[in-house]
Amino acid sequence: MKLTLRIWRQRNADEPGAMTPYEVTGISEDMSFLEMLDQLNERLILEGEEPVAFDHDCREGICGACGMVINGQAHGPERTTTCQLHMRHFADGDTIDVEPWRAAAFPVVKDLVVDRSAFDRVIGAGGYISVPTGSAPEAHATPVPKPVADLAFEHAECIGCGACVAACPNGSAMLFTSAKVVHLNVLPQGAPERESRVRGMVEAMDAEGFGGCTNTGECAVACPKGIPLTSIGRMNREYLRAVVKGTPSGGR
Amino acid sequence: MSSYLRHTTGEPVIDTKAPAGPIAERWDRRRFAAKLVNPANRRKHTVIVVGTGLAGGAAGATLAEQGYRVVQFCYQDSPRRAHSIAAQGGINAAKNYRNDGDSIHRLFYDTVKGGDFRARETNVHRLAQISVEIIDQCVAQGVPFAREYGGLLDTRSFGGVQVSRTFYARGQTGQQLLLGAYQALSRQIAAGQVEMHARTEMLDLIVIDGRARGIVARDLLTGALSTHFADAVVLASGGYGNVFYLSTNAKNSNATAIWRAHRRGAYFANPCFTQIHPTCIPRSGDHQSKLTLMSESLRNDGRIWVPKRAGDQRAPQDIPESERDYYLERIYPSFGNLVPRDIASRAAKNVCDEGRGVGPGGQGVYLDFADAIRRMGRAAVEAKYGNLFEMYERITAENPYEVPMRIYPAIHYTMGGLWVDYDLQTTVPGLFAIGEANFSDHGANRLGASALMQGLADGYFVLPATINDYLARHPQEEVPDDHPAVRAALSEVAGRLERLLAVNGDRTADSFHRELGELLWDECGMARTEHGLRKALDRIPALREEFWRRIKVPGSGVELNQSLEKANRIVDYLELAELMCLDALHRTESCGGHFREESRTPDGEAARKDEEFAYAAAWEFTGTGAAPVLHREALHFEYVRPAQRSYT
Amino acid sequence: MALATTRTARDPSLIGSLWRSTVGKKAVMAGTGLIMLAYLVAHMLGNLKVFFGAGEFNRYGHWIRTIGEPFLHHMWFLWLARVVLTASVVLHGVSAYQLSRRDLAARPAKYRHSRRRSSYATRTMRWGGVILALFIIWHILDLTTLTVNPNHQEGHPYQNLVASFDRWYVSAFYIAAMLALGLHIRHGFWSAAQTLGANSPRRDRALKAMANLLAAVLTCGFIAVPVGVLTGVVS
């Protein structure tokens, strides 16, 4: 395959960036999107140019490091991560636009690399169960009904890639935050910190400069792990419940 | 013969920390003998932890909970992305919830035997004891393990083990366990107990007066080098499987932290013990950048075969039953498709070497579910393996319900690593290695679902108990910034980066990495021969020389420069690979994942030589390309008698 | 030590907490939106009385002023309703404005490759809301204060209404505003349920169907009046 790529190139956070065209040839349809970029980068290096910087690591769709907006869609046309998107989903001669995640809370670092550390701070504001090592009771002490365990798992699948924020017209992190809130709040182990957790995480999310939710549903469409939109509704309920109960937030 | 091969043998290395007495009491004895640090004094001690995977994340969180000041590093943009996240299958624990005869002793026995009698009994027993506590800890953290309708935890049998002791969270057990550790760590970061440096890579160890006192690290975003000091340094930086270029490891996981520590005096043990996983998706072409594992559970129902005739180009459905060779079932009638990983991998290599491999390049064998679909129905197969089939189809564009899957072995895990004593301390006092970074409790072959167990055991329970002893016994003075050792380490690191940028040759880092990987895969992969290893040992120094002559790294050192990161890691691979081949050459027996063609039983299986090789080989660094010194640690088996493994 | 968890209690007041967070402010929008929606249902049903003649419609207009008597004084209920509605409109609008400002700031750079996203109803919430706000002002000036009404006869709402809608452009504006209202409700009702946490995987479809139904009924119900006037059914 022969393709025209238009890739966002930006030297660093301070300099302006621009879409830069590149022609790539000899692309196999079995290549992943990142392998296609690898091939471009190998050529750029030998031509004395700087290769395109992008985050990636496991390349099997689970670490959440990779992510770029391909033709206006977070992670491209398939419901998966960029590393698991294969070139067979494109046609010979296509022009493909590649841009970084865009959100005020995810500043561009270089080319397609953005800073997602805001997510870590949201988790730090309550996305855990306080159980110091060694203090755990016997694992079978608290049975968890299978439907509850399955619901928790479905939300725990989030890989923290940030596609939800990138796809949201408001740069909102509601889906990311709600996935963790629901995962921990539905489990009996998470119940003692149920209210402080959701308050702490929502407040941290706001403080990081993410936008609010206008229920467009773009996040759930982009999510490579299929976190459902109803997750946000559940978090809203948890939050309003915590506010009505007057429990303070979980920051410490 | 190159001088590198003329390695010398030094004093045996002895694990002085392991207590004596009945094996089940040793861990208690050690914990009691260890000195403690007064809780009020702990905040005065700083511990550096490199890596945030299962071992590092668990250790960082736990040490911080105890009150120590922790400074932690990871090269990823977030501690949540460490490659433990990709582990699929599960985690073993001797809970005996199934009442099926499991016990701590049985898990201990299975692990020592599975490791082909090249691990320490004392360590493995401790691992089996702690396995039970790990499950409790993780459940309390909210890890959503699979459950039964009664609300209790589900378990399954894994990797041909006869008891159901593997706890799992669908095919994402590693992810869920890692997120549990990450969340515990995040809590400590938010509390100010852990100072987290993401996107920061350790590039050297600082050793002062013979003790590990800090590291040199590079901020990957700005390129700035910095020094960090502590009372002890813990390496939890994972294995070195990426030396093969193509592996199931994350693209950026690397051996730099452990290799630089090795250069600073930490012995490297059993580097040739690498695990090759039999069920990976074969490479689709030269563009392949990494390999993807398919869970071993597929072998429970899939049948592995190749055409009987070499060079048979027909589509699989056009090959009649009579012309198919279900070779595992033929050679190992009692275990069939469920033989251990090392055996399944070698058998696949053998049939491909005979020209009977399938798919592009003939590097693959069929894993066929046609019989399973006939027997169980498509719906049942889908319920059991649906997500794996989907993953396979996404990558290969082939529908495994209709066309048999193609699989091939790939590098998956490294049993070798930094030599550590019972306290997980390396030969450099104050330097600890945990998880896959140490030479571990898996001997020459790791059983399925044991890596997660070991990483968490080290991080949550072993290291936090043993490091107390070191910190209490060795109060440290503050390190002055201008200490000669600090300046030397810093300038060495800076010099190397400058040198990489200055060559401006005509080959990319990836091209060298790929070449080195192919060489290792061919000569130090699934089957090793003296001839092949010597060839590799000949080639590696030449490749190293060529690397320093022809490497091309664009950009500068004062910005995000992923090419520079890569090249800098390859420098270490080019030295590590040489040690792996030397270790493989010196160990003329076959054991576990290390198969020497010259050492086989009459029926072609791996033949151990216990009289000669019942030891861990700990290598001491003496200089790049200079012959290392071998220190043997003799292994004693009091509870599990070594026997030849037989699966026929 | 890290084990000691000291929770720093910030101001836990209910209103303050709600107003400060995006989720809380959105809940204020949802709550006020639902109040206005309930009012619109009643308003629409009342409007349909216009098809039963001037007498019945004017009687209905008078009755509204007497609700709650003798417990409440004349017009008290009406004023109470006006206060609640005004507060709702203001809170809804201010929340919307503040949240929109925040949302726009959270996504300062647009994608070069833009793609049609979400449904029309979703994308038009902001402009639709502005149109509705302008409509409400005009609507009050036209039929409540009668400032811009051509008939301008206090106590004769039927006649005022017919006089106003007899002008085709007024009817056209009214119809356009009601279509905007339908779109606004279509997304807004489901959105409010989601915001207030009333949504769940089981209820999702039912809520969306309910939103569509409400939007359709209200739009048709309101539009029926100007259509009736223009076609001479109401005169």
Q: Which residue has the tokens 């949504």?
A: C199
Tokens representing C186 are 């279509």
What is the separation of C-alpha B32 from the centre of its chain, rounded to a whole number of angstroms? Answer: 31
Residue C6 has pLDDT above 50, yes or no: no
Greatest alpha-carbon span in chain C: 81
More confident residue, C235 or B168: B168
User: Taking CB atoms and an 8 Å limit, are C201 and A228 in contact across chains?
Assistant: yes
- Report the share of chain C in percent with pLDDT over 70: 94
Domain A3-110 matches domain A116-245 at the CATH topology level = no
Q: Which residue has the tokens 């064998």?
A: B365
User: Taking CB atoms and an 8 Å limit, are B39 and C3 in contact across chains?
Assistant: no
Question: Helix, strand, or coil here: C226?
Answer: helix
> Is C171 part of any domain?
yes
Residue pLDDT, tens place only, C196-211:
999 888 899 999 999 9
Task: Tell whether B79 is within 8 A of chain A (Cβ).
Answer: yes
- At residue C11, the pLDDT reads 53
Residue pLDDT, tens place only, A89-111:
999 999 999 999 999 999 999 99
Instruction: Decide: residue B232, CB within 10 A, 0-12 exposed, 13-18 middle, 19+ buried.
Output: buried
> What CATH code is assigned to A116-245?
1.10.1060.10
Q: Round to whole Å and give the CA distance between B294 and B279.
A: 6
Partners of B276 in beta bridges = B411
> Is C113 part of any domain?
no
Residue C4 has pLDDT above 60, yes or no: no
> Is C222 part of any domain?
yes
> Angle B574-B580-B583 (CA atoms, 0-180°, nearest 5)?
145
Q: Round to whole Å and give the CA distance between B405 and B419.
A: 39
Average pLDDT, integer, range B320-347 = 91
Q: Round to whole Å and give the CA distance between A140 and B152.
A: 6
Q: Round to whole Å and give the CA distance between B415 and B440.
A: 6
What is the separation of C-alpha C203 from the centre of its chain, rounded to a whole number of angstroms? Answer: 23
> Is C6 part of any domain?
no
- At residue B1, the pLDDT reads 54
Q: Round to whole Å and give the CA distance between C216 and C224.
A: 12
Q: Round to whole Å and give the CA distance between A18 and A90.
A: 23
Q: Could you state, in order of their start, the residue ranges of all structural domains in chain A?
A: 3-110, 116-245
- CB atoms closer than 10 angstroms to residue B557: 18
Interhelix angle B509-523/B562-586, nearest 10 degrees: 20
> Is C14 part of any domain?
no
- At residue B572, the pLDDT reads 98
Q: Round to whole Å and give the CA distance between A174 and B588.
A: 59
CATH 3.30.390.10 is held by the domain A3-110: no
Q: Which residue has the tokens 């300099």?
A: A15
What is the separation of C-alpha B599 from the centre of its chain, rounded to a whole number of angstroms? Answer: 25
> Is C17 part of any domain?
no
Task: Tell whether C144 is within 8 A of chain A (Cβ).
Answer: no
DSSP state of B600: B
Question: Which of A78, A110, A129 is the closest to B142 by Cβ?
Answer: A129
Comparing C-alpha atoms, which of C166, C216, C218, C195 is closest to residue C92?
C195
Contacts of B191 in chain C (CB under 8 A): 2
What domains sit in chain B, N to C, each tagged with a CATH number?
Answer: 277-410 (3.90.700.10), 490-614 (1.20.58.100)
Question: Which of B144, B190, B563 is the closest to A124 by Cβ?
Answer: B190
- At residue C117, the pLDDT reads 67
A45, A53, B554 from A49: Cα distances, Å? 5, 12, 7
Residue pLDDT, tens place only, B618-635:
999 999 999 999 999 999
Residue pLDDT, tens place only, B439-480:
979 999 998 899 999 999 999 999 999 999 999 999 989 999
Q: Which of residues 184-203 of A touch B (CB under 8 A)?
A: 184, 187, 189-190
DSSP state of C74: T
Complex ipTM:
0.98
- Number of domains chain C contains: 1
Residue B493 has pLDDT above 70, yes or no: yes
Residue pLDDT, tens place only, A139-182:
999 999 999 999 999 999 999 999 999 999 999 999 999 999 99
Residue pLDDT, tens place only, C171-196:
999 999 999 999 999 999 999 999 99
| Domain extent for C212 | 23-106+120-230
Give me the numbers of helices (H) and strands (E) for chain B, helices first please: 17, 21
Tokens representing B100 are 């099926």
**CA-only gyration radius of chain B, Å:** 24
Question: Which of C26, C112, C118 is the closest to A217 by Cβ?
Answer: C118
User: Taking CB atoms and an 8 Å limit, are B142 and A86 in contact across chains?
Assistant: no
Q: Round to whole Å and give the CA distance between C203 and C205.
A: 6
Q: Round to whole Å and give the CA distance between B112 and B134.
A: 20
The residues of B that are catalytic are 341
User: Taking CB atoms and an 8 Å limit, are A196 and C194 in contact across chains?
Assistant: no
Average pLDDT, integer, range B161-182 = 94
Q: Round to whole Å and give the CA distance between C194 and A220.
A: 14
Comparing C-alpha atoms, which of B632, B626, B625, B622 is closest to residue B263?
B622
- At residue B159, the pLDDT reads 73
Q: Round to whole Å and give the CA distance between B544 and B378.
A: 52
Q: Round to whole Å and give the CA distance between A160 and B332.
A: 44
Backbone angles phi, psi at B321, to 5 degrees: -45, -45
Contacts of B555 in chain A (CB under 8 A): 50
Residues 6+ apart with CB under 8 A from B240: B254, B255, B258, B259, B271, B414, B416, B417, B573, B576
E strand map for B173-295: 194-197, 200-208, 211-219, 225-229, 232-235, 268-269, 274-280
Residue pLDDT, tens place only, A37-57:
999 999 999 999 999 999 999
Tokens representing B242 are 């990426």
Residue pLDDT, tens place only, B223-263:
999 999 999 999 999 999 999 999 999 999 999 999 999 99
Distant-in-sequence contacts of C153-159, Cβ < 8 A, 24+ apart = C155/C58, C155/C61, C155/C62, C156/C58, C157/C57, C157/C58, C157/C61, C158/C50, C158/C53, C158/C54, C158/C57, C158/C58, C158/C61, C159/C54
User: Taking CB atoms and an 8 Å limit, are C196 and A237 in contact across chains?
Assistant: yes
Tokens representing B347 are 């058998």
